[in-house]
Amino acid sequence: MSPYDRCVANKTINGKQCTIRWYVDDNILSHVETPVVTSVIAKIEEYFPGLVVERGKDLNFLGMEIGFLEKGKLKLGLVLYICGMIEELEEALLPYGENLDRD
């Protein structure tokens, strides 16, 4: 367990760091070796069957759009999250579900 964040766990597997971060029902797992990631996910699924798993270079974690670019670089975004929040707020503020004029 990380001494700095109780929602982060690290373990050395095959000489490299494996990290799991979680917040309620959103989790992210990382390791440089794909088979290690597959193995850890399988172990977690033994306890929590039916997980929805996203894999790849473009992920969504806690509303953040995470894109892994070239080695050592990534991009973070919140555009989709913010747009979704605006839509929800508009719906909540409109009486009887009326639509806003969008001229």
Of residues 12 and 56, which shows the higher confidence score?
12
Q: Are 20 and 28 in contact (CB under 8 A)?
A: yes
pTM of the model: 0.63
Most confident of 11-20, 43-52, 53-62, 72-81: 11-20
Residues 6+ apart with CB under 8 A from 46: none
CA-to-CA separations, 7 to 62, 69, 88, in angstroms, rounded = 13, 25, 28
Q: Cα–Cα distance between 8 and 51 in angstroms, integer? A: 19
Residue 75 · residue 59 · CB < 8 Å: no
Q: What is the pLDDT of residues 52-68, one digit of tens each?
A: 888 888 888 878 888 88
Hey, where are the domains in the chain? 1-55, 56-103
